[in-house]
Amino acid sequence: MSGNLCFVLGDQLTRGLSSLEDLDPENDVVLMVEVTEEARYVRHHKQKIALILSAMRHFAEALRGEGISVDYVTLDDPDNSQSFSDELARAVKRHDPGRVVVTEPGEWRVWEMMSGWEEALGLPVEIREDTRFYCSRDDFAAFAKGRKNLRMETFYREMRRRTGILMAEGEPEGGQWNFDKENRKSLPRDLRPPRRDRFAPDKVTRQVLDLVAERFADHFGDLDRFGWAVTREDALAALDHFIADALPCFGDYQDAMKAGEDFLFHGLISPYLNLGLLEAAEVCERAEDAWRKGEVPLNAAEGFIRQILGWREFVRGVYWTEMPDYAETNHLNATRDLPWVYWSGETAMRCMSEVIGTTRRNAYAHHIQRLMVTGNFALLAGVAPAQIEEWYLAVYADAFDWVELPNTHGMAIHADGGLLGSKPYAASGSYINRMSDYCRGCDYDHKKRTGEGACPFNYLYWNFLMENEERFADNPRMALVYKTLSRFEPEERDAMARAARAFLDAPEDAPVQQRLDAGW
């Protein structure tokens, strides 16, 4: 073989991928590998593993349907070395290519691995830019240069101007850049979300589900409700369904939560974006087009587009600009072990139980559930950054390090000291009650700060503020809450601190390692 060996990773399932754009079917070979190393470096949710493997197998078949030669190594191949680097080396021996062509990866861990391949293999390895994003790594580095703090809103406005999305003659459509104030409504009791389309597993997916059940039985999560799209065609159908049936109400209720409703009006397309079955540009263009046709209100289209054109691009830029040191910061000196409730869901806190329940069932929870329930709890409890970050990376189908780490490290637990967000996203039980129905029927009272039945989020919240008063008292965005804290009597402050300590030391919050050692 004198052509290229094009190595495609499991989150690069895009026909227009830069490493495939000049593919010569007569001389080049596409390499795809399933390796245990990637499935176990954290204990990924069973559905996440199944989604990636099935999508990879379907993508390989689509390439073969074009007459492209695909060298595909399955997880259960007896000769599989179960690592990227070793499988690439084996493939080089099989095909003797002139060079290896790859697209830059989404994770620093794989980037370091990839950067050493040329020397290890003894032949050229061309690493191409991932062109599926609006903003390249170099472009974001130029944006970030000289800035002490990075703010998504500034970046988002620049991206709107650059792309022209939701713009008219240089100004934002509707006369404002975002409609956040319109997008924080609680869900009316009589409003019924649309039934969400799910995709029945085909023969290939059923084989993968059996493989995952056998090989990864000890991993978190259920498989019996698997309904993710695993082909580009079905991913496009999921996008069409969202635009038509859910996007019209997405803006108003994107921050709402409801017991028993796993999806509400959310897109459910982030796994497809992050795997490459959908591209950011086509998704944003579809949402904008729906608004221009009068099919969805502007606040819905803008709120959705901001999550992709703004936030998704922004956190990727932060990740590649700040790594690898970024992951090591721990501004709040948080050291508590991850409570066992994150794996078991067994708690009297209905909000935590609901969110962890949908996570177990679907490998999914929407952004407010992640930020303001499980993330908020980890922040208030002082969970060690690496432990909560590993949990998020493991349990969500859309979680890859480039998107998960900044969202958790900077947004949820403020471990970066304000690089990503100007204040910690801490909240008490009153916020959860306002944005959900979780507090109805809960064993705890969201109105009580101390005493029997007091909501843990309340005393944890105020204890967090007291413990970090020197850090945040001068923060303008927290002035009002610290003014409220100043009115509390010393006795109440002491009572909340005692309640927080007692709760965090309770048996149900035994650390993960302790339960692992006990035979989980």
Each residue's pLDDT tens digit, 170-211:
999 999 999 888 778 888 988 999 999 999 999 999 999 999
As a whole-number percent, the residues of the chain with pLDDT over 70 amount to 97
Q: What is the largest CA-CA distance in the chain?
A: 79
What token pair was written down for 362?
């679907």
Reported confidence tier of residue 236, pLDDT bands at 50, 70, 90: very high
Segment 357-367 mean pLDDT: 97
pTM for the model stands at: 0.94
Does residue 519 have a pLDDT over 60? no
When the pLDDT of each residue in the chain is averaged and rounded to a whole number, the result is: 94
What token pair was written down for 194?
């649309």
Helix, strand or coil for residue 168? strand
Q: pLDDT by residue (tens digit) across 473-493?
A: 999 999 999 999 999 999 999
Does residue 416 have a pLDDT over 50? yes
Q: What is the pLDDT of residue 495?
A: 95
Judge contact between 222 and 261, C-beta under 8 A. Answer: no
Judge contact between 414 and 369, C-beta under 8 A. Answer: no
In 357-385, which positions are buried (b, 16+ CB within 10 angstroms) versus exposed (e)?
A: ebbbebbbbbbbbbbbbbbbbbbbbbbbb
Report the number of secondary-structure helices (H) and strands (E) in the chain.
26, 7
Q: pLDDT by residue (tens digit) across 116-167?
A: 999 999 999 999 999 999 999 999 999 999 887 889 999 999 999 999 999 9
Judge contact between 119 and 299, C-beta under 8 A. Answer: no
Q: What is the pLDDT of residue 148?
A: 79
Q: What is the pLDDT of residue 509?
A: 42
Q: What is the pLDDT of residue 1?
A: 64
Segment 443-450 mean pLDDT: 95
CB neighbour class for 418 (10 Å; exposed up to 12, middle 13-18, buried from 19): middle
Reported confidence tier of residue 347, pLDDT bands at 50, 70, 90: very high
- The three-state DSSP-derived secondary structure of 179-195 is CHHHCCCCCCCCCCCCC
Phi, psi for residue 339 in degrees, rounded to 5: -65, 145
As a whole-number percent, the residues of the chain with pLDDT over 90 amount to 92
The rounded Cα 475 to chain-centroid distance in angstroms is 28
Q: What is the pLDDT of residue 186?
A: 87
Q: pLDDT by residue (tens digit) across 246-264?
A: 999 999 999 999 999 999 9
Q: What is the pLDDT of residue 304?
A: 97
Measured CA to CA, the distance from residue 385 to residue 365 in angstroms comes to 20
Reported confidence tier of residue 517, pLDDT bands at 50, 70, 90: very low
**Alpha helical stretches, state H, 97-170:** 108-115, 117-121, 137-144, 152-163
Q: What is the pLDDT of residue 181?
A: 81
DSSP 426-481: ---HHHHHHH-STTTT-SSBTT-SSSTTB-HHHHHHHHHHHHTHHHHTT-GGGHHH
DSSP 204-257: HHHHHHHHHHHHTTTSSS-STT-----SHHHHHHHHHHIIIIIHHHHHHHTT--
Q: What is the pLDDT of residue 421?
A: 86
What token pair was written down for 268?
């459910």
